[in-house]
Chains A and B, each alone.
Chain A
Amino acid sequence: MNLNKLFVLSRSVNLGRNLFAGRVAQKGDCLPRFQSRRSIRSSARSLVYAKDLFLGKVNKAEVFPYPEISNEELEEINQLVQPVEKFFSEDVDSKKIDHEAVIPPETLNGLKELGLFGIQIPEEYGGLGLSNTMYARLGEITSLDGAIAVTLAAHQAIGLKGILIAGNDAQKAKYLPKLATGEHIAAFCLTEPGSGSDAASIQTRATLTEDGKHFLLNGTKFWISNGGWADIMTVFARTEVVDKDGQKKDKITAFIVERAFGGVTSGKPEDKLGIRGSNTCEITFEETKVPIENVIGEVGGGFKVAMNILNNGRFSMGSAGAGMIKKLIAWTSEYACTRKQFNRSLSEFGMIQDKFATMALNAFVMESMAYLTSGMMDRPGVPDCSLEAAMVKVFSSEGSWVCVSEALQVLGGLGFTKNYPYERYLRDCRILQIFEGTNEILRMYIALTGMQYAGKILTGKIKEMKKGNVGVVFEILGKKLKESVVKTVDFGLTGKDGVVHPSLTESAKMFEQNAAHFGSTVEGLLYRYGKTIVEEQLVLKKVADVLINLYAMTAVLSRTSRSISIGLRNHDHEVLLTNTFCKDAHFKNNFLLTQLQKNSPENNDANIKKIAQEVLAKREYICSHPLDRTF
């Protein structure tokens, strides 16, 4: 049974002609045997790309060709972008915002007039009603000031997203119009003093009043962006719910809380390293009376709401980071080309050139990933892009940090001073790795979600293998033998009917090789660790890193193929960037995958763990001083 399934599966991938094969295959247990039935099944579109990579499958229909927007949409967005860009370059004084740690009201009013507080709110509620892609495009510009970007994101990417995606019509009609104009500002209240990333330990409690019409909300929320001036808050609290068995249980419920309900006090704004203009503070709810119709979704269903809000809100960080780096490249290259040292301009030095190449590569990859993801999210159907969005966030937050730091380095000492904006960008950009799920947690999320997905499908096969089923073992041996003889993996990205442009063949091959290797590595990891993989954080980190690289390679391959095909300006430069990035990522992946092999000499995890354990046991650096003596 199992053997059969796999055989069908692998053949369908190898053929690479049937675009639906991948999507059906992920159904796993109900894999149909016949082509005719398969096409019927596939009508329910469920979009997965990254998850399938865990099975060693490249679901190329999802990512090729690169998503486009229509001409009308492009027109619209360009019309929108111009005034926003003008506003940011002329009316926003980032230095002042950073120094005084507050966004002046006239700047906020300008943002409101531009409609930036309701980018994704449908037009019927007075918003701009833009798609995810267009939201990402605007994010490129708003990111020029970190404080404003965070304020806007806290307002609409998480603050009001709950009402938008899970609220009922009455709630939408009541709250969205005012939120869209910026008359009301929204905040997202999840984090608590005792639960940073551990959302399960929420202590804020909502109890139903006796008349059953209100909830009384009590508790404290921490690090709430916009907490000081928000009028509408999405608050998550524990409520008592009677489950099927008639037992009382605590479940998380999401509420829309107006400041006007009373009992809401916000603390002093936190003094932060970066994004100083944004308002972050503590909010305390004391016997706040929330009417029962303000529950988002259903009582006890708050967890799903929170998850959906967070999982899909992250993709825009890619475009934001790219927007910022593009600006930095412009500024620093100006400096590098005019500043002379040793009678040569800085731009002639290899090490300076290296920095610019790094910045260009990072911006290019981030952009590609962000718009690929937003395009996937904008497709009809129920997109499952949380993994992709998380990858965009991790890659772009780390890339931005490196790039801003390199940009600052180009200027040397000047970059370190407050006369230039670089130090501010460096400070602002540090938060990217922390908020909306720290990168560590997101890596765990990326790796574990994929592992769970792959594990469900592969469990049967692995069990057979462990039992010593001769058939399965032979099949695997045969596969390995075949791989070693044929050496090339073919997912049908290149060649006849290929989706990648021939000038990127080499890069595509590298990607395919990595993808196949990744699939078999995941299988090996599942075989070795089973469900205890959760405890292997260092392994999971590497798995996540490989997957991020794979997704980044996909994004650049897809984007550049399109650019070449339709003849965009400077597409030869894109080819160069793509090939460079893919080669780099390929070798990084190879190294990571080698480390993931059993007993690999490259793997230093055991030692790393031991060092940390020894240091943490004493809670200090335990080496003797190099000048110490014993006699």
Chain B
Amino acid sequence: MNAPRQLLRIQCIGCVARFLGTPVQRVVLAGVAHVQTPRSQHSYGQLLRPFHCSAVCFTNRQSQTELEKTAEDETLKKDKSLVTHDDLFERAARDSKTKADFNRVVDVFSKKDIRRRGHVEFIYAALKKMPEFGVERDITVYNKLLDVFPKEVFVPRNFIQRMFNHYPRQQECGVQLLEQMENYGIMPNVETKVLLAQIFGEKSHPMRKYQRIMYWFPKFKHANPFPVPHVLPSDPIELARFSLTRIADDLDGKITIYQYPSTDITEAGEEVTSPHIVGIQSPNQRSLLAKHNPCKPVFVEGPFPLWLRKTCVHYYLLRADPIPPEEKVEEEFDPEMIGPEQSLFYPQRVELDLERDMGDDFKFDVDDVEEGPVYAMCMAGQGDQATLSQWISGLQETCPILGQIPTVFRLESGPRELQTSSDAQQTPEQEVETDQIIEEEPLHSRRVNQ
């Protein structure tokens, strides 16, 4: 059924009810009941069904066999216990934890008892279990959970109820559910609103919470100018490309894939894996590197962490020390070229002994900390020197001067691989190697002929 229409209908009913009082409302609602599909085989309380079943309920599953039985057992055995529902989820998820399993548990609970006894506890338990099942970011699941609440029962019917906190525990539970949605950044949808209106009424606390979320969420949706997608690319090269462009906020920066990951088996039968090497360099960086004084070393440093939501990746820098002030060469301009009256088309500067007036000087006094130039960045499958030398030799293709510059590798200990859940295995030897800081003799890397 169309959710907004349903919402509208509830409001109509509310109006009618206000005029005619409760008995009529019952009748009207009973009429409504025929529109909805009763989903239970229980003969008991046919009239009551619609109050407990919303328009957005899922159609029933055919087989809920075992779980259903355990649930029923539970109700029989420890009816008054408060900790039953956790077990229900535990039991359901013995072998797998998926959305389907979660939904099944919720369905079982909803069907188990017409009165939905203990639904508040159940919802709390379910909320807690959601991350485990990986459904914490799924709006349909939240709606399904909300659906567990019996409908119409908690809607205040007179001004006294409205004035006081009507069914506080239930309302609190509803707010808690919305809050969890909020924390995970899930925006409620119209269905949520329909459910809330059915369950708690138009002016309840959960409804207010919903309205607040709907006020603020859209406003903050695009607050982050550098959004990270929820699902990161699984291909390490794509991930590296994404991360590098994210760090180097330069649209001119060019990504180069120096090496694709591959596994070869040598004649001796050894398995040789070559890790991926992805680098980024902008034309400006390239020209800076070309101007680098070949007597001064450049450093390969890293790994530095970059967090992308829950994933941590590592990158390496090629940088140099800042040029000491005495060695700086001021670029000299030929006054004929840029001076007044001289330049071909227009003067690049005027020769006046007048500074900018203080009243028009809006510059901030910023203490600039001199930093050395960063010439390039890369991400690699492995952080050992051999891999990174390959990156350097790759860079030499565009910057031949790099062959004459001593390159020092200053690699700190740290994870060598991208810490994605899938490939987190490292050989113990590698770890040992990385444990101490490797400070090598300046290595004159030769130009690689390729």
Contacts and interface: CB of A to CB of B under 8 A. Distances in A.
Interface of A: 190, 197, 199-200, 249-251, 303, 306-307, 310, 437, 441-442, 444-445, 448-449, 451-452, 455-456, 459, 462-463, 466, 526-534, 598, 619, 624, 630-631
B346 A441 contact: yes
B350 A451 contact: yes
Contact of B340 (A199, A448, A527): A448
A598 B359 contact: yes
A333 B222 CA distance: 56
Given A199-B343, A249-B334, A452-B340, A534 B218 contact: no
A456 B350 CA distance: 10
B336 interface: yes
Given A303-B342, A448-B340, A449-B340, A529 B348 contact: no
Contact of B187 (A437, A534, A631): A631
B344 interface: yes
B347 A630 contact: no
A452 B334 CA distance: 18
Contact of A532 (B336, B346, B355): B355
B337 interface: yes
B356 A303 contact: no
Nearest to B219: A630
Given A307-B342, A619-B251, A530 B352 contact: yes
Contacts of B218: 630-631
Q: Which 4 A-B pairs have CB atoms at the shortest separation, nearest pair first?
A: A530-B354, A630-B218, A445-B346, A200-B337
Interface string B218-249: 10011000000000000000000000000000
Given A307-B344, A441-B346, A442-B345, A531 B355 contact: yes
Nearest to A437: B345
A283 B352 CA distance: 40
B350 A534 contact: yes
10 contacts: A303-B342, A310-B345, A444-B346, A448-B346, A459-B353, A530-B357, A531-B356, A532-B355, A534-B347, A598-B359
A445 B251 CA distance: 32
A51 to B, nearest CB: 11
B258 interface: no
A442 B334 CA distance: 21
B130 to A, nearest CB: 22
A323 B300 CA distance: 67
B446 interface: no
B338 interface: yes
Given A529-B357, A530-B355, A199 B344 contact: yes
A528 to B, nearest CB: 5
A526 B346 contact: no
A630 B221 contact: yes
Interface in B324-365: 334, 336-338, 340-357, 359-360
B449 to A, nearest CB: 30
B253 to A, nearest CB: 13
B346 A531 contact: no
A310 B356 contact: no
Nearest to B213: A631
B83 interface: no
Nearest to B361: A532
A451 B354 CA distance: 12
Contacts of B347: 445, 448-449, 452, 534
B356 A528 contact: yes
A302 to B, nearest CB: 10
B386 to A, nearest CB: 38
B356 A532 contact: yes
B343 A528 contact: no
A306 B344 contact: yes
A445 B350 CA distance: 11
A60 to B, nearest CB: 25
A533 to B, nearest CB: 7
A199 to B, nearest CB: 4
A631 B217 contact: yes
A531 B354 CA distance: 6
B351 A452 contact: yes
A441 B353 CA distance: 24
Given A448-B340, A452-B340, A630-B218, A528 B357 contact: yes
Contacts of A533: 350
A442 B344 CA distance: 11
A452 B344 contact: no
Contacts of A459: 352-354
Contacts of A526: 352, 354
A441 B344 CA distance: 10
Most A CB contacts (10 A, CB to CB) among B217, B347, B354 go to B354
Given A448-B350, A452-B350, A532-B355, A630 B222 contact: yes
Contacts of A528: 356-357, 359-360
Contact of B348 (A249, A534, A619): A534
Contacts of A442: 345-346
Given A307-B342, A531-B353, 4 more contacts: A303-B337, A310-B344, A529-B356, A533-B350
A526 B187 CA distance: 56
B214 A452 contact: no
A101 to B, nearest CB: 29
Contacts of B348: 200, 534
A598 B358 CA distance: 13
B355 A441 contact: no
Given A448-B350, A459-B354, A529 B342 contact: no
B357 A197 contact: no
Contacts of A463: 353-354
Nearest to A303: B336
Contact of A529 (B214, B346, B360): B360
A599 to B, nearest CB: 9
A444 B338 CA distance: 13
Given A303-B337, A448-B340, A630-B218, A455 B354 contact: yes
Contacts of A310: 344-345
A200 B346 CA distance: 11
B80 to A, nearest CB: 42
A310 B346 CA distance: 11
Contacts of A249: 334
Contacts of B187: 631
Contacts of A455: 350, 352, 354
A444 B349 CA distance: 11
Contacts of B349: 531, 534
A619 B253 CA distance: 14
Contacts of B353: 459, 463, 531
Nearest to B337: A200
A165 to B, nearest CB: 15
B194 to A, nearest CB: 15
Contact of B352 (A250, A441, A445, A531): A531
B345 A452 contact: no
Contacts of B343: 199-200, 307
A624 B357 CA distance: 40
A451 B355 CA distance: 14
Contacts of B341: 449, 452
B139 to A, nearest CB: 11
B356 A199 contact: no
A625 to B, nearest CB: 13
Contacts of A190: 344
Nearest to B355: A530
B360 A631 contact: no
Residue of A249, A303, A619 most packed against chain B (CB within 10 A): A303
A266 B343 CA distance: 28
A530 B356 contact: yes
Contacts of B351: 452, 531
A530 to B, nearest CB: 3
A250 B332 CA distance: 12
A199 B187 CA distance: 58
Contacts of A532: 355-356
Nearest to A440: B346
Nearest to A524: B357
B420 to A, nearest CB: 30
